[in-house]
Structure 1
């Protein structure tokens, strides 16, 4: 958390507020987590884009090269229109009320860089295609996954085959595709099902405003909860009946991440190892 749907929801909510406005300065007290933010002062936010789980504030200044303010929300980060007890960064605007970045667990990061200079952010630099874009093709996904000897869920979480899929949406997509999270050497037909499942799951989650879990760590910038958690089929449902077959959902740990699956619908074929 937050994953692509939560970050995209955040982008959609704050872009109308920030676009075309000039940043006066960024106020914070943690230079190791928020680096070179002084370079953003006096620049206009031309556009907000997103790459996987990263927000990119595209900054312009007449006569100067463009810059990107790259924001990673970490585990509990998010923007708010009002200050909270967990506010870590205040974006002061020249002609509007500030925007606040809150982060209770302090894993979020910000850095100002030239566009594309992401050498210090290897995950961003090596990220796969966006799952809701035309760049994410079935043929390319088949080439990335079919027959490989890596367990499918950790490979998805690496961000290499497709951008923005984290723990929640990997579990949900694999359930929809009837694939065990630890399966290796996927068949072409399985990869095709997973491709469709990822696109459909991500689209539905964005439309629902993301997922707000029981800890309440993610909310939209205006304080609203996401609604997609009501549609989870496996994530955070250990012991509850599968919505497809009624078998109790199981939880295990895979690559140090809690992983939810249906043991009846998602059978691990150990003969492929």
Structure 2
């Protein structure tokens, strides 16, 4: 699933392609992608709307138009593609935003797990799904004291806590494993057991890892590519994720893969305690 760095990269590559474009019509071939409102209303309300900006909140893209906001989640394999209107498409392409200049923004999703919500402009942050998510690592309010307060409220493992989008928005399995390695914390530790020094190290690792991943265009571990079809490169710098049985880059101990919080989890038994 694309995480914060990948979604931010999609946002940045989409901006120069579609900002200023006016939607002439919308066609939805797989209606379950549109969660709100009903598909007919969704298509009708987008007609004649011009895209002025694309924002991001956690793993969500927010298309800002004249008087509506389109909230989109890519889920596992969702992808936006920009093409000329008459360019052929495959059976995995499910939503078409046709612009007045005869170009199209297409949403392709092999698994069909992606979602779209359309709201009156200004309301999108105050209703689900965006109202349910917590701070993200790049927010000014994401401080050591705030993170410490959140960790003291739960008896879950630190891995499960960081995966909870209502606490820290944008982190997924890849980056949680990476920040826990960088901060030398075992994913199986209970969140309330972390010391002040460990929380400070974790806070720093979260911000640095996300910033570095954004600079590298995200991580392409399986199928992720940006709007221009380019892969990310941060996967070449991963310390533990996807490196089961390979030597730890710090100490040489084989990386362990286990299950924590019902997710495949990679860590170094020697470096993380």
Using the size of structure 1 for normalisation, the TM-score is: 0.89
Structure 1 unaligned segments of length 5 or more: list them: 61-65, 268-273
1:117 to partner: Cα distance = 4.5
* Partner-residue secondary structure (3-state), 1:125: helix
Q: Which moved more, 1:128-137 or 1:71-80?
A: 128-137
Is the 8 Å Cα contact of residues 146 and 191 (structure 1) preserved in structure 2? no
1:189 to partner: Cα distance = 1.3
Determine the C-alpha separation between the residues in 2 that align with 1:244 and 1:261: 12
Consecutive aligned runs of 4 or more in structure 1 exceeding 6 Å deviation: none
Is the 8 Å Cα contact of residues 2 and 74 (structure 1) preserved in structure 2? yes
Equivalence map 1:214-253=2 (5 Å): 215=222, 217-253=223-259
Determine the C-alpha separation between the residues in 2 that align with 1:100 and 1:188: 47
Determine the C-alpha separation between the residues in 1 that align with 2:271 and 2:26: 49
Picking from 174, 198, 208, the partner of 1:200 is 208
* Partner-residue secondary structure (3-state), 2:181: helix
1:120 to partner: Cα distance = 6.7
* Partner-residue secondary structure (3-state), 2:188: coil
1:147 to partner: Cα distance = 7.1
Question: Quick check: 1:190 aligned with 2:198?
Answer: yes
Equivalent residue, structure 1, for 2:113 = 107
1:130 to partner: Cα distance = 2.2
Is the 8 Å Cα contact of residues 40 and 69 (structure 1) preserved in structure 2? no
1:254 to partner: Cα distance = 1.5
Determine the C-alpha separation between the residues in 2 that align with 1:148 and 1:190: 16
Equivalent residue, structure 2, for 1:53 = 59
Is the 8 Å Cα contact of residues 157 and 261 (structure 2) preserved in structure 1? no
Structure 2 unaligned segments of length 5 or more: list them: none
* Partner-residue secondary structure (3-state), 2:51: strand
- Equivalent pairs counted in the alignment come to 259
1:31 to partner: Cα distance = 2.0
User: 1:229/1:84 Cα in 2 relative to 1: closer, same or farther (>3 Å)?
Assistant: farther
1:127 to partner: Cα distance = 1.5
1:135 to partner: Cα distance = 2.3
Picking from 147, 166, 170, the partner of 1:164 is 170
1:32 to partner: Cα distance = 2.4
Q: Which moved more, 1:68-77 or 1:127-136?
A: 127-136
1:119 to partner: Cα distance = 7.3
User: 1:117/1:59 Cα in 2 relative to 1: closer, same or farther (>3 Å)?
Assistant: same
Determine the C-alpha separation between the residues in 1 that align with 2:167 and 2:158: 10
Equivalent residue, structure 2, for 1:141 = 147
User: 1:239/1:77 Cα in 2 relative to 1: closer, same or farther (>3 Å)?
Assistant: same
